[in-house]
Structure 1
Amino acid sequence: MLKRLGLIGVVIAAGIAFATPAFADKIMVGAYPANPPWEYKTDSGGFEGFEIDVANDVAKRIGAEVEFQDLGFQALFAATASGRIDFAVSSISITKERLQNQGFTQAYYDSDGTIVGKADSTIKTLDDLKGKTIGVIAGSTGEAYMKENAAKLG
């Protein structure tokens, strides 16, 4: 399962920044910080990771401060739609459904879905998952894949 990632609204924020002489002094960025190395919280409560660095760079380029909000994955979409945040970071896959009400930058990273388990696990293929409990992030493309293939995977 190919996962195309993008930052919601970075293009819009950057476009506004370069098209108008004045813009917000602070940009609000939503993050689901349980997603290292993309974004995570440090022991002191600060945000770090690749996408945090990208958001900080956008803010620097437009001369604004950035404030990160710790949001659940699904809450990111409601927060961008309502204007509570200017954009979101969290390895967000670009899907047809999300394109109906969210804006995305050009994808900057492609990844495949992966099964992760203990090194001594007997699970080596999707067929080995039959009858097993599988964890996915609610609202993610991983959840969509598992729902679409539940009957086949058992």
Structure 2
Amino acid sequence: MKKLVIAAALSAFAVLPAGAETLRIATSADYPPWESVNSSGEMLGFDLDVGNAICARIEMECEWTNQAYDGLLPALVAGQYDLIMSAISITEERKNSIDFSTAYAQAPASFGTLGESFGEISDKSGLQAAIDGKAVGVQGSSIFERVVAEHFPTANVKTYQQADQIIADLKTGRIDAAVMEVSAWDEFGGADKDANLTMFGPLMTYAEYPQLGDGIGLGIGKGNAELKARIDDAIAELLADGTIAKASDKWFGYDVTP
């Protein structure tokens, strides 16, 4: 695992007091623009900006750790971290193991592929027919694994640790399609225009796919009511004063606030 300690929040936020308590946060920095690692080895992205703003608001110091997505929840349960923050959707299933903050974001998902091989698809039934028997990539332990399994049971689901591995297998033809958040398709497509990544079918939202969860929140260890209350208060303030909306515009170009 790669560990980075971020002692300073964004310049627009309050300066942390000397000796501020450390808040251990884990993320899987392979899902731009939510979180990624730049050429200098620094983690950055929407979640990093929001997480640092929360830490500054509650006067704590963020200590970020980068590890595989499928290990985030077990590590939180084991007490390795205080929080996990990695575009994690709030679902009833996950609530059995961990607590969540209030939602700080909400984002639709979509199927995607290379080029126009799937053509125009206007509704869910057409999407189900198009995906029948096709190899579909999803990030392991993500909500998309369950969405595909329950709504597209005739698809051949392949799981990956990292989103960039999904893109790599799309480009080599090992899978026919994949499911990710719209923002991730936009980011990967913009970074590799020659790949001709294309979303297809109607957007997938909570209204039709409840497995997508009730917004995106921070995972918190079970029973840590005091920390949850402080974080919830900070999120409410950052939503009210426009801080999260500004970070959203910076990283997505549109508003993902709930």
TM (norm. structure 2) is: 0.47
1:42-81 mapped onto 2 (5 Å cutoff): 42-81=38-77
Q: Which moved more, 1:86-95 or 1:116-125?
A: 116-125
TM (norm. structure 1) is: 0.76
1:106 maps to 2:102:
yes
Percent of residue pairs identical: 30
Using the alignment, how far apart are the partners of 2:43 and 2:116 within structure 1? Answer: 33
Using the alignment, how far apart are the partners of 2:120 and 2:37 within structure 1? Answer: 32
Kept in 1: contact 2:131–2:152 (CA 8 A): no
Residues 37, 118 of structure 1: CA spacing in aligned structure 2 closer, same or farther, 3 A cutoff? same
RCO (CA 8 Å, sep 6+): is it higher in 1 or 2? 1
2:63 aligned partner, one-letter code: E
In structure 1, the residue matched to 2:153 is 151
Residues 124, 138 of structure 1: CA spacing in aligned structure 2 closer, same or farther, 3 A cutoff? farther
Kept in 1: contact 2:135–2:155 (CA 8 A): no
Q: Which moved more, 1:109-118 or 1:85-94?
A: 109-118
Report the 3-state secondary structure (helix = DSSP H, G, I; strand = E; otherwise coil) of the residue aligned with 2:53: helix
Q: Which moved more, 1:52-61 or 1:119-128?
A: 119-128
Between the two proteins, the alignment pairs up a number of residues equal to 132
Report the 3-state secondary structure (helix = DSSP H, G, I; strand = E; otherwise coil) of the residue aligned with 2:106: strand
1:1-154 mapped onto 2 (5 Å cutoff): 25-125=21-121, 126=127, 127-153=129-155
Deviant stretches of 4+, over 4 Å: none
- Which runs of 5 or more residues in structure 1 are unaligned? 1-22
Using the alignment, how far apart are the partners of 1:41 and 1:142 within structure 2? Answer: 23
Residues 58, 121 of structure 1: CA spacing in aligned structure 2 closer, same or farther, 3 A cutoff? same
